[in-house]
Amino acid sequence: MTKTINYNLPIKLITQKDLISANCLNVSELLSVVENAFKSYAAGDVIFPEKMSVIFDSVSQNRINSLPAGIKSQNVFGVKWVSVFPENPQKNNVPNLSAVILLSSLSTGYPFAIMEGSFCSNLRTALVGSLAAKYFAKVDSTKIGFIGAGELAKTHFLVMKELFPKINTCKVSSRTTNSEKKFVSQLSRKYPDVKFIACNSDYEQAVSDADIIVTAISGQEKILQPSWIKKGAFYCHVAGLEDDFGVALKADKIVCDNWDMVKHRTQTISQMYKLNLLSDNDIYADLDEIILKKKKGRENDSEFIYFNSVGLSFIDIALANWMYKCVLDKGLYTDFSFKSNSMFDII
């Protein structure tokens, strides 16, 4: 029997608009996708190769990262291709970050979807930080403070507010007052019950009263100081080296998405580890241990808890695959065929 080989390479293209229209901003569902991804990881269901990171220029820190991961039981293996060019807003009038996610089937190896990736990427970071907050921030948190006012900071607000509906005050500080203003104007429209305060680059003002502190700022300055942090606060460290070493030293608990990965990178507590200012014993838990109830979350109202996220690409892929199913379900995508036959049939 002669089989006919099908040379088609059809791929579903998914825009940010498709993702929003398909209700991919459903925070409670997203959080359960993230929790399940951590459980898959703990159960050995995740394929998690080394990431590639190429820094093109040590001064600008312009870089492109390639973050592959797969989830066996979901029959998916994909990659997030993400660029971070910190000078972009100033030099090129485009955001510092761009991302594209490609998903391939584990049955055929074929790519089946290409998705705008900054939506998923920013959400992943905010969801993981907020999941940590769910276990480690005070349940009646009302005040949130931001250092950094970009897309990532705004996305954190979006998710945190869903988990902590009592949040009524949001202070924001940034290098430029313009981005603070944009943060406030975009979010105050959507959240009339919250008082948004732009702090005119006064970082201390933004966080000193906060139950939840988020630092999502590029650059390598140690901005956040231990004296600014109030008793019982939860701190979500998102970027690189934006806090004084004293902050982690002050913490009652340090929690990571994955300490084994964090310690080999260049974030604040990674550097402290390399300088012997922190050891493995100083890390209370990884987030999967909390989700699986192997360890407790917050134990009293006075603990100051430090959360550090390095970014786990299998969570991006789990989220992207869930988003793919959402857009598929609602028909919100563009079919595109990169190839329809053998080139030897047409040349």
Residues 153-192 that bind its own copies (CB under 8 A): 154, 178, 186-187, 190
**Least distance to its own copies, CB of residue 28, Å:** 16
Distance of CA 108 to the CA centre of its chain: 30
Instruction: Give the interface size with its own copies as a residue count (CB under 8 A).
Output: 74
335 touches its own copies (CB under 8 A) = no
61 touches its own copies (CB under 8 A) = no
**Least distance to its own copies, CB of residue 296, Å:** 35
Task: CB nearer to its own copies: give 248 or 323.
Answer: 323
Query: Residues 49, 219, 222, 264: which binds its own copies (CB under 8 A)?
Result: 49
**Least distance to its own copies, CB of residue 38, Å:** 21
Query: Residues 36, 61, 63, 230: which binds its own copies (CB under 8 A)?
Result: 63
Site for its own copies in 64-123 (CB under 8 A): 64, 66, 68, 70, 77, 79, 81, 83-85, 88-90, 92-95, 98, 100, 102, 104, 106-111, 114-116, 118-119
Task: CB nearer to its own copies: give 77 or 136.
Answer: 77
SS (H, E, C) the chain: CCCCCCCCCEEEEECHHHHHHCCCCCHHHHHHHHHHHHHHHHCCCEECCCCEEEECCCCCCCEEEEEEEEEHHHCEEEEEEEEECCCHHHHHCCCCEEEEEEEEECCCCCEEEEEECHHHHHHHHHHHHHHHHHHHCCCCCCEEEEECCCHHHHHHHHHHHHHCCCCCEEEEECCCHHHHHHHHHHHHHHCCCCEEEECCCCHHHHHCCCCEEEECCCCCCCCECHHHCCCCCEEEECCCCCECHHHHHHCCEEEECCHHHHCCCCCHHHHHHHCCCCCHHHCCEEHHHHHCCCCCCCCCCCCCEEEECCCCHHHHHHHHHHHHHHHHHHCCCEEEECCCCCHHHCC
27 touches its own copies (CB under 8 A) = no
**Least distance to its own copies, CB of residue 198, Å:** 15
139 touches its own copies (CB under 8 A) = no
194 touches its own copies (CB under 8 A) = no
**Least distance to its own copies, CB of residue 6, Å:** 5
Using CB under 8 A, which of the segments 54-62, 165-173, 244-252, 261-269 binds its own copies?
54-62
261 touches its own copies (CB under 8 A) = no
Query: Residues 32, 266, 279, 334: which binds its own copies (CB under 8 A)?
Result: 334
